[in-house]
Structure 1
Amino acid sequence: MSSLSRSSWGHVYDNLGVTLLDVAHGAIDVDQQIGGVVIHDPVDEPSYPPHAIVLAIGIQDAEELAALATMAGLQDAVAIVVRAAAALPEVVTEAAEKAGVAILSLPRGATWTQLAALLRSVLAEDDIGHTPAESLGGLPSGDLFAVANAIAALVDAPITIEDRSSRVLAFSGGQEDADSSRVETIIGRQVPERYARALAELGVFRHLYRNDLPIIINPMDLGQGVTTQRVAIAVRAGDELLGSIWAAMDGPLTPERTATLQDAAKLVALHLLRVRAGEDAERRLRTELVSRAIEGGAEARDALERLGLSGQRVCVAAATLAPVPEGETRSDQDVIADRERLADALALNLSAVQRGAAVALVVDTVYGILPTADAAAEERAAHLAEDFLQRVDTRLPALIGIGQPAESVAEISRSRVQARRVLRVLSEHPGRRRVARLAEVETESLLLELRDLRASRGDISSTELTRLIEYDTRNDSQLVVTLAAWLDSFGDVKSAAAASFVHPNTFRYRLRRVIEVSGINLDDPDQRFAAMLELRTRRI
């Protein structure tokens, strides 16, 4: 369907159909143009662009979904995307038919964030598809610094171009003519926290989210260090906010300056889309190749060839975010952003110290394929991982597991499995260590797998250990702890008593109670081993 418009349903389905989207009810004309993506919010009704695709995130109630279908029809939407289910309720399909909207399903396992990003990326291709790749508005494509300088010349004021998180993407010359706060922003490539907080309290960001007109910020409202008036305008691509333009200029916001900033915002949007389209395409390709390479199978050899790793001895490293400390919470959006930051940071670090390394975020884990020519491959990979985690420190707490060296496709797949096993052990014991190789945690890994096996088969605890646990619960005693300490000390009462912080005589008395209550024969090596194994799996 190469002849289809890039913003048509046919083009969207060519790119995302089968994998991410399926038609659950109704039909859509392949030539139907898509005007944008809307995330349904029952609290704050969003604005609908013409012929939108509506994401019904978190809606499971049939009546609520039927009401949304009716509303979408009134807003001239094309389709509603719901989480895939066995069958759609009749009340929903009837409402969709009356409203003239289709129902699309998103399969389980795929995230709404992925879908929204990919939909917008596919639809944004049309915004950049008619301009030669080498230039946009007479400026080099994606050269935001050239764009900032051009805008600065037009409005006669120093300019910064910032993303949605107030990070400085590019800036013009002449920043020293503004004030000390602007210089601080340029040096840190980020709006300082105190100014960002003041802007939020003033409602500046709320205005940028909702309007396409410039807003004036009085320097007196921002605090010390700001002496020059700020003028900001949002940068959008359709219904998506990409960032903003900030001018440090005094004087009135004349109609000419307003028109210039509005035109500049459109030009910056094209450049940002061009940059993002290139980065997204490269990122998706790298992710696909790394995923194929570590999964094994028929396509792994070709993926390794394209990554430049064919025939090389490699290690697979797997990284994930460290568990959140008890009492703290982290939103899904923050988790997704931190995973992407972790992938980017690891890729940048390895590219500087390990030539040829390939890194990608695959689902929820960052994988790295590291070429290793020497015999101490695992040690070197672990050293690189430790060095990386020290660099990111508490800003991006993470865990990294190292698989064993591999050469063949099958061995690389096995190295990936090993790295994942190590990661699981590290996640089960947060704080003990941040980097490990399989040889260092293999016992813990096997115990975890044994615990999973017991749970999957529905195995129950031994009668002897169950009696001890029930006795401890009723009498607030320490018999299970006593048995575990004795087994860990290989029957040495003095060592076990010291580990339990009790007198040896007290420990001997408790041990006799263990035998009386449970009925376990501690002279039988098989019973000792069974008790130790069960206690270990419970402890894991």
Structure 2
Amino acid sequence: MTEQPRAVLGRILDDLGSTLIEVVAGEADPVRTVTGVLIQDPLDEPARLPGAVVLGVGVYGAEPVAALVDRAAGLGAAAVVVRAPVPVQGPVAEAAARTGVTVLGLTPGASWAQVAALLRSLLATDELGTVGGPDEADGAEPLAGDLFALANATAGLLDGPVTVEDRSGRVLAFSSRQDEGDDARIATVLDRQVPTEKLRALEQLGAFQALYRKEGPVYVAGVSDKPRVAIAVRAGGEILGSIWVVVDGPLSEDRTQSLQEAAKVAALHLLRHRTGEDAERRLRADLLATVLEGGTHAPQAAVRLGLSAQPACVLALAVTGEPSAPDRVAAGHRVAEALALHLAAIHPRTASASLRGVTYAVLPTSADEQALRVAEAFLGRVGDRVPAVIGIGRLAARPAELRRSRTDADRALRVLCSGRSRRRSARLSDVYAASLLEELTDRIAAEDDVPDGPVVRLRAYDDRHHTALTDTLEAWLGTFGDVTAAAAAVHVHPNTFRYRLKRLAEVAGLDLDDPEARFEAMLQLRLAPPRS
């Protein structure tokens, strides 16, 4: 079996070095494995992720940067990124030399969101491995790497910076040497999107019509400071995207041929990437299902998902409302994707998948209280647009315990969906009594074991005589026998309420002075809530 390639620091510096970042302190080991991206937060201890790149958002000055380098070393990080200019002499240089953590400077004007997205995109691309199977690897051409490698190879052949874009102008990959382009190209790479005004200008010029109509390259001038040559990336009759090259003038015949060949290879990438994304999503769902079900294969599945290194909690999300509502499924997909994105921003080793109408996520964390805060924050952002609820399982110290955490999350989720609780997120411990009532209700229904008793007799009487004695009893029990408060709850005079209370005791054969009788009545009311 061919070992899957891993992202390395040298690759990141090659792809982003001329546009976004530069080494300012320490020796960059080009073969150092990079595993993820962490954003430093002085108020929250980040998860340990050996090989991560730590983004020092808001860290300025020699001493704070040096402290960040030491903290990153404790997390096993490969590098830190801080905003340029960086005071590299003194504490920063000493910390970099002492810890072996490379300090990178982020170019002014680039946003942290941009650099985080670019880094994660590079890491995700490397995880996909090479195009084709093992049989193709030995004889692969230089262009048979990932899209970023393709962009770099094309830039070398055409002697100009390259971007690969989808049909909406979103940048999928870019080459080095972007600093040789103009301001519009640099803005495009930083935002990972062609600026709106440039898209509008290209449309007015008819560039897109020509691009999608012609098989060969299209020369575009007059929109930016420097001209461009673009070619559509096609698969049969489908337009998948395009390749754009900053040039000094029209291409020669040889370079035109090179760009056409690059477009064919890009088409393979985009098709396989699209297929790979679907396959990857199904694979992760299968692996997560294996982990949550437990059994002999669960530990290995947890390793493949990266969930074996630290404690974690299971979160279970569902959209409430009528199951047959036409937009319920679509809303469920949207909120599931939003949850996955939200959790990925908190911890790079989260895993989520939708299984039988419920979205499960495993969040590495040190306490279930933190998982509850994460769930509450997410639902707060969602607001009332989607009626979603989240159940949270207990902390699992090791992968084998995730099955129990999933069971807890399911039990809590059922309570939240049933309406027994007004909360939108809860741990099982928060709704434990209500969960027991749900399970007892199931047993009664399964065994057709509806007990005869005061509440059953009272409901039957209400049905025959169109009275509200059951409501009277529930109000009285709910206010601990406070007649005035109970009467106000059902909107009657206290004297009327006292009469109804006496009457219901006679009809139901219920001794209201007996604490055991009161408890049994309360339990039966909870097991079978009155019809609205």
SS at match of 1:462: helix
Out of 265, 268, 278, the position equivalent to 1:267 is 265
Output the CA distance in 1 between the equivalents of 2:387 and 2:200. Answer: 25
Matched, 1:314 2:308: no
- Deviation per CA, 1:377-434: give whole Å up to 9, x if none: 3223323444555677789885432222345777442222011111222333499434
SS at match of 2:347: helix
Output the CA distance in 2 between the equivalents of 1:198 and 1:512. Answer: 82
Query: Judging changes above 3 Å, is the alpha-carbon distance between structure 1 residues 433 and 229 closer, same or farther for their aligned structure 2 residues?
Result: farther
Q: Which amino acid aligns with 1:536?
A: R
- Deviation per CA, 1:196-238: give whole Å up to 9, x if none: 99999xxx99999x9996999x99xxxxx9xx999784543x7
Query: Judging changes above 3 Å, is the alpha-carbon distance between structure 1 residues 527 and 270 closer, same or farther for their aligned structure 2 residues?
Result: same
Output the CA distance in 1 between the equivalents of 2:238 and 2:331. Answer: 19
- In the alignment, what sits opposite 2:459? 465
SS at match of 2:431: helix
- In the alignment, what sits opposite 1:489? 479
Out of 345, 370, 387, the position equivalent to 2:364 is 370
- In the alignment, what sits opposite 2:142? 138
SS at match of 1:533: helix
Shift of 1:139: 3.6
Q: Is the 8 A contact 1:166 1:191 kept in 2?
A: yes
TM-score w.r.t. the length of structure 1 is 0.53
- In the alignment, what sits opposite 1:451? 441
Q: Is the 8 A contact 1:290 1:360 kept in 2?
A: yes
- In the alignment, what sits opposite 2:425? 435
Q: Is the 8 A contact 2:347 2:363 kept in 1?
A: no
Output the CA distance in 1 between the equivalents of 2:264 and 2:410. Answer: 45
Query: Judging changes above 3 Å, is the alpha-carbon distance between structure 1 residues 532 and 195 closer, same or farther for their aligned structure 2 residues?
Result: farther
Query: Judging changes above 3 Å, is the alpha-carbon distance between structure 1 residues 308 and 350 closer, same or farther for their aligned structure 2 residues?
Result: closer
Q: Is the 8 A contact 2:457 2:508 kept in 1?
A: no
Matched, 1:519 2:508: yes
Out of 313, 320, 324, the position equivalent to 1:323 is 320
Output the CA distance in 2 between the equivalents of 1:296 and 1:135. Answer: 41
TM-score w.r.t. the length of structure 2 is 0.54
Q: Is the 8 A contact 2:231 2:243 kept in 1?
A: yes
Q: Which amino acid aligns with 1:346?
A: L
Query: Judging changes above 3 Å, is the alpha-carbon distance between structure 1 residues 230 and 319 closer, same or farther for their aligned structure 2 residues?
Result: farther
Shift of 1:268: 1.5
- In the alignment, what sits opposite 2:392? 402
Output the CA distance in 2 between the equivalents of 1:497 and 1:146. Answer: 76
Matched, 1:425 2:415: yes
Query: Judging changes above 3 Å, is the alpha-carbon distance between structure 1 residues 315 and 174 closer, same or farther for their aligned structure 2 residues?
Result: closer
List runs of 5+ in structure 1 lacking aligned partners. Answer: 3-123, 220-224, 352-356
Shift of 1:439: 1.0
- In the alignment, what sits opposite 1:169? 172
Query: Judging changes above 3 Å, is the alpha-carbon distance between structure 1 residues 434 and 296 closer, same or farther for their aligned structure 2 residues?
Result: same
Shift of 1:440: 0.5
Shift of 1:149: 6.1
Shift of 1:448: 2.2
Q: Which amino acid aligns with 1:493?
A: V
Output the CA distance in 1 between the equivalents of 2:168 and 2:330. Answer: 13
Query: Judging changes above 3 Å, is the alpha-carbon distance between structure 1 residues 489 and 128 closer, same or farther for their aligned structure 2 residues?
Result: same
Q: Is the 8 A contact 2:151 2:163 kept in 1?
A: yes
Matched, 1:535 2:532: no
Output the CA distance in 1 between the equivalents of 2:202 and 2:500. Answer: 65
Query: Judging changes above 3 Å, is the alpha-carbon distance between structure 1 residues 452 and 140 closer, same or farther for their aligned structure 2 residues?
Result: same
Q: Is the 8 A contact 2:164 2:244 kept in 1?
A: no
List runs of 5+ in structure 2 lacking aligned partners. Answer: 2-127
Q: Which amino acid aligns with 2:361?
A: Y
Computed over aligned residues only, the root mean square deviation of the Cα atoms, in angstroms, reads 5.9
- In the alignment, what sits opposite 2:295? 297
Matched, 1:380 2:365: no
Q: Which amino acid aligns with 2:489?
A: A
Query: Judging changes above 3 Å, is the alpha-carbon distance between structure 1 residues 213 and 445 closer, same or farther for their aligned structure 2 residues?
Result: farther
Shift of 1:459: 5.1
Q: Which amino acid aligns with 2:242?
A: I
Out of 128, 134, 140, the position equivalent to 2:132 is 128
Q: Which amino acid aligns with 1:464?
A: L
Q: Is the 8 A contact 1:402 1:438 kept in 2?
A: yes
Q: Which amino acid aligns with 2:510?
A: N
Query: Judging changes above 3 Å, is the alpha-carbon distance between structure 1 residues 346 and 494 closer, same or farther for their aligned structure 2 residues?
Result: same
Q: Percent of aligned pairs with the same residue?
A: 41
Shift of 1:442: 0.9
Out of 331, 340, 343, the position equivalent to 1:343 is 340
Output the CA distance in 2 between the equivalents of 1:270 and 1:539. Answer: 59
Out of 343, 355, 361, the position equivalent to 2:353 is 361
Q: Is the 8 A contact 1:340 1:361 kept in 2?
A: no
Query: Judging changes above 3 Å, is the alpha-carbon distance between structure 1 residues 316 and 175 closer, same or farther for their aligned structure 2 residues?
Result: same
Q: Which one is further off, 389-398 or 411-420? A: 389-398
Shift of 1:493: 1.1
Q: Is the 8 A contact 1:136 1:270 kept in 2?
A: no
Q: Is the 8 A contact 1:213 1:258 kept in 2?
A: no
Output the CA distance in 1 between the equivalents of 2:438 and 2:230. Answer: 58
Query: Judging changes above 3 Å, is the alpha-carbon distance between structure 1 residues 507 and 347 closer, same or farther for their aligned structure 2 residues?
Result: same
Q: Is the 8 A contact 1:464 1:520 kept in 2?
A: no
- In the alignment, what sits opposite 1:244? 241
Output the CA distance in 2 between the equivalents of 1:420 and 1:282. Answer: 25
Please list, as runs of the form range in 1=range in 2, the aligned pairs for 1:106-255 lying within 5 A after superposition: 128-129=132-133, 132-133=136-137, 138-139=142-143, 141-142=145-146, 144-148=147-151, 161-163=164-166, 167-171=170-174, 188-189=191-192, 233=232, 235-236=234-235, 243-245=240-242
- Deviation per CA, 1:474-508: give whole Å up to 9, x if none: xxx65443332212112221222343454423433
Shift of 1:449: 2.2
Query: Judging changes above 3 Å, is the alpha-carbon distance between structure 1 residues 327 and 503 closer, same or farther for their aligned structure 2 residues?
Result: farther
Output the CA distance in 2 between the equivalents of 1:282 and 1:319. Answer: 21
Query: Judging changes above 3 Å, is the alpha-carbon distance between structure 1 residues 261 and 321 closer, same or farther for their aligned structure 2 residues?
Result: farther
Shift of 1:317: 1.6
- In the alignment, what sits opposite 2:28? none
Q: How many residues are aligned here?
A: 395
